[in-house]
Amino acid sequence: MTVKDFVDTKSKQLCFYLNAFWNEGLPVEEIELFFWDCMEEWGQVNCTLTQPYTQKERVFWHVLHQIHYWSEEKLKDDRILVDELRTCVKFLEDAGTCPIDCVGIRP
């Protein structure tokens, strides 16, 4: 699997999980499981240290880090964080512009 294939597939899933968390009350534990599944699958991706990042990949890693780092309460109730993540999700869904402050890096 290529980096692009991984990011494209996992971005769609990440957006689905976050939207379900915000809209339908998906348990935060499901998001945490998704994070660890991504980490496990990333180990099977064909990637070199010199391979350049795309904007989409940077946003993807940024959001993935955020959902793992912050508490359930912050992910639900912190308006600034939620607005930032919603902007990122829109970009990952090809429905918005690239946020300029996302500096996600590969694990």
Is 57 part of any domain?
Answer: yes
pLDDT digits (tens, 9 = 90+) for 31-73: 999 999 999 999 999 888 888 999 999 999 999 999 999 999 9
Give residue 103's pLDDT.
85
> What mean pLDDT do residues 3-8 have?
96
Q: What is the mean pLDDT of the chain?
A: 95
The number of folded domains in the chain is 1
pLDDT at 49: 83
The answer to whether residue 29 is domain-embedded is: yes
Decide if 106 is inside a domain: no
Whether residue 97 is contained in a domain is answered as no
Question: Would you say residue 67 lies in a domain?
Answer: yes
Range of the domain at 84: 3-42+52-92
3-state secondary structure 13-69: HHHHHHHHHHHHCCCHHHHHHHHHHHHHHHCCCECCCCCCCCHHHHHHHHHHHHHHH
CA separation for the pair 16, 13 (Å, rounded): 5
